[in-house]
């Protein structure tokens, strides 16, 4: 049995040697992997600093852009107010012209009716109608000057 014990011991020794070689290779690969992780971790603070610096630069540029847009918007605000006032003035003028047109239409109808009522024909009727229209136009012009002076 000494021989069988010696062969068993030799098989165990060879198996242990194979196991040691296998574990040595695994540990060697693990060491390489951990060294790579260590290099990556060592570079991480530098990369984070770069990312933070770039983020800070982006925020700074964004703030400058917002300030510039606000400044330009404030400089354009009076222009918007002027355009609004011009629109309001044109609306008032347009409504005044509508009133004036309606008044002229009424006055021409009234003048025509007066000429027909009084049976004033020919040259005398035309002169009376012209004078009546002149008076109405003067009244409208005076009314227009009063309204545009208030606007």
State the Cα–Cα distance between residues 21 and 89, nearest whole angstrom.
98
Closest C-alpha among 148, 63, 65 to residue 100:
148
Domain chopping of the chain, boundaries? 9-140
Residue 1 has pLDDT above 70, yes or no: no
Segment 84-93 mean pLDDT: 77
Q: What is the pLDDT of residue 60?
A: 94
Q: How far apart are CA 15 and CA 121, in angstroms?
A: 142
Residues in the chain: 151
SS3 33: helix
pTM, rounded to two decimals: 0.39
Residues 6+ apart with CB under 8 A from 100: 140, 143, 144
Over residues 118-140, the pLDDT tens digits come to: 555 555 667 777 888 888 888 88
């Amino acid at each position: 049995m000494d021989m069988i014990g010696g062969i068993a011991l030799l098989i165990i020794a060879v198996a242990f040697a194979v196991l040691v070689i296998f574990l040595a290779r695994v540990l060697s690969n693990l060491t390489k992997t951990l060294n790579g992780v260590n290099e990556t971790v060592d570079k991480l603070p530098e990369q984070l600093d770069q990312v933070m610096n770039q983020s800070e630069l982006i925020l700074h540029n964004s703030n400058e852009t917002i300030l510039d847009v606000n400044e330009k918007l404030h400089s354009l605000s009076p222009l918007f107010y002027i355009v609004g006032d011009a629109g309001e003035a044109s609306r008032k003028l347009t409504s005044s012209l509508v009133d004036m047109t309606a008044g002229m239409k009424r006055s021409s109808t009234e003048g025509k009716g007066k000429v027909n009522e009084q049976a004033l024909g020919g040259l005398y009727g035309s002169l009376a109608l012209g004078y009546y229209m002149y008076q109405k136009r003067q009244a409208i012009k005076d009314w227009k000057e009063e309204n545009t002076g208030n606007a």
